[in-house]
Structure 1
Amino acid sequence: MKADAASDIDCTTSFSASNRFEGTRQVGAGLFDLASLDRFIAAHVPNYEGAVSIAQFNGGQSNPTYKLSGSKYNWVLRTKPGPVSQLLPTAHAIEREYLVQSALGTTGFPVPKMLTLCEDESVIGRAFYLMEHLDGRVLWEQSLPTKTPAERSAIYAEMNSVIAALHTTDYRAIGLQGFGRENGFLERQIKRWSAQYRASEIQPIAEMDALIEWLPRNVPSFSRTAIVHGDYRLDNLVFDHQAPRVIGVLDWELSTLGDPAADFAYHCVGFHSDPMMFRGIAGLDLAQLGIPSEAEYVALYERRTGIDCGEHWNFYMAFSLFKIAAILQGVAKRASEGIASSEHAHDIGAKARVRAAEGWAVANELRL
């Protein structure tokens, strides 16, 4: 850690905790039929030489992601977590991930190159796709504790620029007009995450019950339609090793056509997140760190996109926290059933109650 950066912020505990999400871990030899996997890929990917080893990335919570290493090249394998019969309805849609990244790749938007998709579960026991391995860096701490103020400022400006570019991409021009419905996005999302939460519910959370009732009655009357990522955050981005430039946006499982303001609000949840619990930046001296305030960050996005977020910002933020709580509850449910893709799923799922309480607090600011 650089001395000049370390003096800006004390995130030692949080920074150490984030290390558990970095790198890969070895997997058992019986996880996949590697020979069957190699045969399929060789039949669909030119010049594929075969994998020598396979390791699992530590960061994934939903769709397990693996690094296939060959003698000359590396690839990334992304799979569903198990047979379809064990999964929540509409979850883990890797086919959609493959489609949207393939389409965006034609525009120059920073996504990994898609290589092949396999929906035949008989090959390795689950659907999967293969993509290029990006040689870059993933930054886990939104406070960027090892960076200088100038570096933090540049990284935040780049994150803002990339999501603005996504939301201003002409989805019809790249063949994604059928990727989602253009109307009723928020209503469908509230219904979907309410159902996913109910399907994953272990113990009652009063604030989630309150949000499930409140959100449908307070949906903004007007919204735009754009490609939305659904989980756009710092650690789903791959940066160039040397420059503050995003070379790849990862984890498109929740992508669809929808309200870009809702997608951007989800991205801004870090401004409301405790540094120690959620690796966020709430309560920090952002000006000293070189990080824009939430208001400055929102204004920059609005200038780049022409989208007005301000009038309904609290609704969008309450919805985002509700959505995160539902996702975390799903992690907890999978952990309780022994099918979670991360060994840290129990800890993460336990935070659903905290996010629900934060969401209901934001909603209550509108109710007063």
Structure 2
Amino acid sequence: MTDLGIPDVDSDALRAWLSDNGISLDDQVTATRIGGGQSNLTYLLADGSGRRYVLRRPPVGHLLASAHDVAREARILSALAPTDVPVPKVYGVCTDEAVAPVPLVVMDFVDGISLEKRENAELLPLPARRNVGTSMMETLAHIHAVDLDATGLTDLASHKPYAQRQLKRWAAQWEHSKTREIPELDSLTRRLAENVPEQHETSLVHGDFHIRNVMVDPQTGDVQAALDWELSTLGDPLADIGSTLAYWPEVGEEIPGRFSAETMEGFPTPADVAADYLRITGRDPEALKYWRTLGLWKVAIIVEGVVRRIQDDPTNRAVVGAPTPELVDRFVDKASKMADEAGLA
């Protein structure tokens, strides 16, 4: 097999592993980096016969503990296969170091469109654009309704209070990956820690549920698959919608260098999305304000981590570009304003 250009992967050994796992590809195989994600690297494997699969591997370079665990992600996807949550089929996890020094996951290519690019978003009729938000919230409600015992996911993570776990994890991530000091972020960490709401339920949470992590039907806008489960855990379901809203920009809040389908004509606003979720689930709108603040704080830390990884190794730069320190500052500022609205002293 011609070298596929996937970092640290022996292409011939990969082809042998694929064959052993029921995936036969002809001699015209190509691997193309897809997705705008700045974390795990995702490749489309395609051959001359039109067969298509997706391969995911951790990013190149130093990895923080517990981050970028593609084998864990594959376990979650496999567990969700018989549920109402739309996910791609997983064919296997390669842990053979003769193929690669890191685990690789191979899964089905989902027939749908990603809304990372303008040309895809423009395919959607106006009613379908509004339906993207509703269908995403229906999907999120299905995720939060997953039976943990039936799916074998009860031991996926701790059942201890989620906010404290998130604060501990992401504060530690910040200390390990920051490129500079941001006093306002440190103040947010304190305010969030001192105002943790009572947790009333524990569910599966996606952890990174936004418009670029779903595949949708180009005619209806219905979600065909929820992708990128590496941050999934067990916790308060309001944390998920809080993160979704943190990623969902208002008109005028577009990130420089990155297309934002959310601000195109016909797509719902953050308020529309929040209203859909609260209507579908009946959960508390006041409690959501805390989780919107934490979501923005967490996104700021995630973006800073991406800045750090790209500084350490430019190979991790996504095809759509790279975030900047100024973007981190924008999320910190927005989180501070949301904390004020939530009454976090």
State the TM-score, normalized to the length of structure 1: 0.82
The whole-number CA distance in structure 1 between the counterparts of 2:275 and 2:115 is 24
The whole-number CA distance in structure 1 between the counterparts of 2:48 and 2:319 is 31
Task: Name the counterpart of 2:239.
Answer: 262
CA contact (8 A) 2:129 2:268 kept: no
Identity of aligned residues (%): 31
Task: Name the counterpart of 1:3.
Answer: none
Aligned partner of 1:87 among 63, 70, 87: 63
After superposing the two structures, state which structure 1 stretch, 260-269 or 240-249, moved more: 240-249
Task: Name the counterpart of 2:76.
Answer: 100
Task: Name the counterpart of 2:44.
Answer: 67
CA contact (8 A) 1:332 1:345 kept: no
Aligned partner of 1:171 among 148, 151, 163: 148
Query: Which deviations, in whole Å up to 9, do the C-alpha atoms of 1:232-275 show, x marking residues without a partner?
Result: 11111111233322111111110011111010111122155713
1:157-196 matched pairs, under 5 angstroms = 157-196=134-173
Query: Which deviations, in whole Å up to 9, do the C-alpha atoms of 1:291-342 show, x marking residues without a partner?
Result: 445444333322322322x122221111001110111011011111115522
- The letter of the residue matching 1:335 is I
Whether 1:109 aligns to 2:88 is no
1:1-368 matched pairs, under 5 angstroms = 28=5, 31-43=8-20, 45-49=21-25, 52-72=29-49, 73-82=51-60, 86-140=62-116, 147-269=124-246, 270-271=248-249, 274-277=253-256, 289-308=265-284, 310-338=285-313, 340-343=315-318, 347-350=322-325, 351-365=327-341, 366-367=343-344
Gaps of 5+ in 1: 1-25
- The letter of the residue matching 2:312 is E
Gaps of 5+ in 2: none
CA contact (8 A) 2:13 2:98 kept: no
The whole-number CA distance in structure 1 between the counterparts of 2:321 and 2:308 is 9
CA contact (8 A) 1:58 1:342 kept: no
Shift of residue 164 of structure 1? 1.1
Q: Secondary structure at the match of 2:54?
A: strand
- Kindly tell me: are residues 95 and 47 of structure 1, through their superposed partners in 2, closer, same or farther at Cα, counting changes over 3 Å? closer
After superposing the two structures, state which structure 1 stretch, 121-130 or 339-348, moved more: 339-348
- The letter of the residue matching 1:332 is V
Q: Secondary structure at the match of 2:114?
A: coil
Q: Secondary structure at the match of 1:172?
A: helix
RMSD: 2.7
The whole-number CA distance in structure 2 between the counterparts of 1:178 and 1:157 is 30
State the TM-score, normalized to the length of structure 2: 0.87
- Kindly tell me: are residues 346 and 223 of structure 1, through their superposed partners in 2, closer, same or farther at Cα, counting changes over 3 Å? farther
- The letter of the residue matching 2:115 is L
Number of residue equivalences: 335
Q: Secondary structure at the match of 2:194?
A: helix
The whole-number CA distance in structure 1 between the counterparts of 2:312 and 2:7 is 21
